Amino acid sequence: MGNEGLTLTGLLKNAAAEFPSRRAIFVPGKLDINHARLQELVDAAAAHLAASGIRPYDVVALTFPNTVELVIMFLAVIRARAVAAPLNSAYTEEEFEFYLSDSESKLLITNPEGNSAAQAAAKTLGIPHATAVLSNPNESVEISIEIGSTNSDFEFLNDPSDVALFLHTSGTTSRPKGVPLSQLNLATSVQNIRSVYRLTESDSTVIVLPLFHVHGLLAALLSSLASGAAVTLPASGRFSASTFWSDMRASSATWYTAVPTIHQILLDRHAVKPEDTYPKLRFIRSCSASLAPSILTRLEEAFGAPVLEAYAMTEASHQMASNPLPEDGPHKPGSVGKSAGLELAVLGEEGEVQPPHVPGEVCIRGANVTRGYKNNPEANKVAFEFGWFHTGDLGFLDSDGYLHLVGRIKELINRGGEKISPIEVDAVLLAHPDVAQAVAFGVPDPKYGEEINCAVIAREGAGLDEAEVLRHCKKNLASFKVPKKVFLTDSLPKTATGKIQRRVVAEHFLKPAQAARAGA
C-alpha cells in the first residue's frame, strides 16, 4: 500500500477492492453504481484530465448541483494529483471571479447546462471551461476539454502531502481565507469520522448538504465511500423535504447528517404531514451550527434515533469533536461531545491549558488540520500561536471531557462588561413551545456599548407576540441577558449552506430600524 495508505485516494481504492459489488452511489429512478464501477469511472476521468493537460497541483474549479458527475469529477481531479475547488453554483459573477482568482484555478468544469455567472467570471480571467456528463453509467464520463498540451508524464501516484482540496472559510468576520487541505488531512478526517460513528459497508445515507461544503463532502460522501458504504443523491440534485424520507426508505438508509436548519425543516414537515413509517436509523448527526437541546429532544422523539451533535470547521477537514454513539457513552444535549481523533484543549490568553469548567479558546492539533492558509502569513501567525490551531470559538471541557461551546470570540456580546453568550439565549428562546426558529445577536448601544436583540419565527398558527417572548426570557434568563428588542419575522437570512450568521442577521434587522429612525 505504501504512502497511498495515508491518502484519501488510497482509502477509496481499498474500499473498492474490498467491497467491489456493493452499492456506492444511488440516484432514485436514475442510476445505481457499485464501488468497483465508481473507481473505473474516476480513473478514466482522471486519465482524461491528465491527457488534456491538467498537471499535478493545478487547481480545478467544479460548480455543479449534487450530481454523480460532481462526485466523479471531484475524485478524478484529486486522483490526477490536481486540486479540487468545489464552488457554490449560486454565487454571483463577482463572487466567482474572487474565488476562481484567489484559488488560481486553471480550469472550470460544470454540467452541460453550464453556469452563466461562473463562465463569465472564468472568461474574464482567461480560464478555460469544460463540461462533464455521465449519460450512461456503463460508459465513461464525457468531458469536453480543450486546455493545452498533453501531459504524457501522468502517474496514478498520490502522496499524503499533495494538496487535494481547496476551500474558503465562510468569512463571518472578514474576507474569506483560502484553506488548502492535503490527501493526509482528508484521509485522517475520514478515518476519524468512520471511527466515531462505526461506519461500515452496511451503512447508507442520503446526502442533503451541498458538496461544495466540507460537511456534506467529508462527513456524508467521502466517509461513506471510504467505508464501502452507500450514498444516495436526490434526483433533483438538491435537498427536498418532500422527497427526503422516501429516498431514505428507498436506499435503506441507516443515518443522515445535516445542519440544524434542515433538522428543523424536517421537524416542521413531521408536525404537519408525518410519514406513515420512518426508517430505523442508527443515529442522526447534527453539525455546522449549535443545536438547541429542545430541538435535539424533538428530533429524537419524532424520528426514534439518537441525535449526536458534532463540532467541525473547514481548517480541520471538518470534524473535531462529536457526541458518541449510545454504545460508546452518553450523548449530552448542549455539548458538542468529545475530541474525535485529534488533540483538543481549551487555552487561556497566555496559551495555558484551562482546567475543567473554565472557559477559554478551543484549540486543536492533529493530522487532519491544515498546514496553513494560502498566502496569508499574518492569519497563520495568529491561527497557530503556541503550537496549536486556534478555532476562534470559546468553550470549556466538563469533567467527563465533553466540550461545551459558549460562542465565537467575536460574537460574544459585551453589555457594559457583562459577557453574554448568544448560544445560551438561542437555547432559551427555542425552548418556548411556540418558537420555530430564533437567533440572538449583539447591537451597538450608547449606554452599554452593546445590547442584545433577537429575531424569532413563530410556529405556524401560534399567536406569539413580543411581550410573550420577553416574559419567557425574563423567567429563564438573568435580567442582563434578556433581549432589549424582539423582531418577529417570517424568515431569517441564511448562507448557502443553511448557516445563520449573527452578523448578517443583525444587519438585516437593524438597517430598516435605523432607516425608520432617520426618517422620523
DSSP string, 158-218: --TTSEEEEEE---SSSSPPEEEEEHHHHHHHHHHHHHHHT--TT-EEE--S-TTSHIIII
Whether residue 291 has pLDDT greater than 60 = yes
- What's the average model confidence in pLDDT over 374-399? 95
Whether residue 289 has pLDDT greater than 90 = no
N residues, the chain: 520
> Which pLDDT score, from 0 to 100, does residue 513 have?
64
d(CA 380, CA 183): 20
Q: Looking at this protein, which amino acid is placed at residue 480?
A: F
Whether residue 7 has pLDDT greater than 80 = yes
pLDDT > 70: what percent of the chain? 94
Which one has a higher pLDDT value, 3 or 71? Answer: 71
> Which pLDDT score, from 0 to 100, does residue 516 have?
55
Whether residue 208 has pLDDT greater than 70 = yes
Structurally, at CATH architecture level, domain 2-394 sits in 3-Layer(aba) Sandwich (3.40)
> Which pLDDT score, from 0 to 100, does residue 46 have?
95
- What's the average model confidence in pLDDT over 301-314? 97
Which one has a higher pLDDT value, 233 or 500? Answer: 233
d(CA 393, CA 241): 31
- What's the average model confidence in pLDDT over 315-339? 97
Whether residue 507 has pLDDT greater than 70 = yes
Cell numbers linked to 401: 471531557
d(CA 506, CA 109): 36
Output DSSP code: residue 353. Answer: B
SS3 285: strand
Sequence ranges of the chain with CATH classification 3.30.300.30: 413-519
> Which pLDDT score, from 0 to 100, does residue 1 have?
40
Q: Which region among 323-332, 408-417, 486-495 has the lowest average model confidence (pLDDT)?
A: 408-417
Whether 317 and 218 have beta carbons less than 8 Å apart is answered as yes
The set of residues, in sequence order, having a beta carbon less than 8 Å from that of 378 and lying 6+ positions away, is none
pLDDT in tens, 92-145: 998 899 999 999 999 999 999 999 999 999 999 999 999 999 988 888 889 887
- What's the average model confidence in pLDDT over 33-42? 96
- What's the average model confidence in pLDDT over 282-296? 92
Q: CB count, 10 Å around CB of 62?
A: 25
Which one has a higher pLDDT value, 5 or 111? Answer: 111
> Which pLDDT score, from 0 to 100, does residue 410 have?
79
Nearest to 299 by CA among 340, 255, 237: 255
d(CA 366, CA 181): 13
> Which pLDDT score, from 0 to 100, does residue 382 have?
93
Cell numbers linked to 143: 468531458
Whether residue 450 has pLDDT greater than 90 = no
SS3 25: strand
d(CA 473, CA 429): 7
> Which pLDDT score, from 0 to 100, does residue 461 have?
87
d(CA 197, CA 319): 12
Nearest to 410 by CA among 361, 451, 364: 361
The set of residues, in sequence order, having a beta carbon less than 8 Å from that of 25 and lying 6+ positions away, is 31, 32, 33, 38, 68, 71, 230, 231, 232, 233
Which one has a higher pLDDT value, 246 or 512? Answer: 246
> Which pLDDT score, from 0 to 100, does residue 147 have?
56
Beta strands of 249-397 (E only): which ranges?
255-258, 283-286, 307-313, 318-322, 338-339, 343-347, 360-365, 389-397
Which one has a higher pLDDT value, 448 or 482? Answer: 482
Which one has a higher pLDDT value, 230 or 137? Answer: 230
Cell numbers linked to 447: 449606554
Whether 405 and 422 have beta carbons less than 8 Å apart is answered as no
d(CA 54, CA 376): 26
Domain 413-519 -> CATH class: alpha beta
Tell me what the pLDDT averaged over the chain comes to.
92
**517 pLDDT band (50/70/90 cuts)?**
low
Cell numbers linked to 90: 449560486
**172 pLDDT band (50/70/90 cuts)?**
very low
d(CA 255, CA 252): 9
> Which pLDDT score, from 0 to 100, does residue 150 have?
53
Sequence ranges of the chain with CATH classification 3.40.50.12780: 2-394
> Which pLDDT score, from 0 to 100, does residue 424 have?
87
Whether 351 and 336 have beta carbons less than 8 Å apart is answered as no
> Which pLDDT score, from 0 to 100, does residue 277 have?
94
Cell numbers linked to 186: 482528508
Reported pTM: 0.86
> Which pLDDT score, from 0 to 100, does residue 417 have?
76
Whether residue 515 has pLDDT greater than 70 = no
Whether residue 156 has pLDDT greater than 70 = no
Whether residue 414 has pLDDT greater than 50 = yes
Which one has a higher pLDDT value, 80 or 449? Answer: 80
Whether 479 and 459 have beta carbons less than 8 Å apart is answered as no
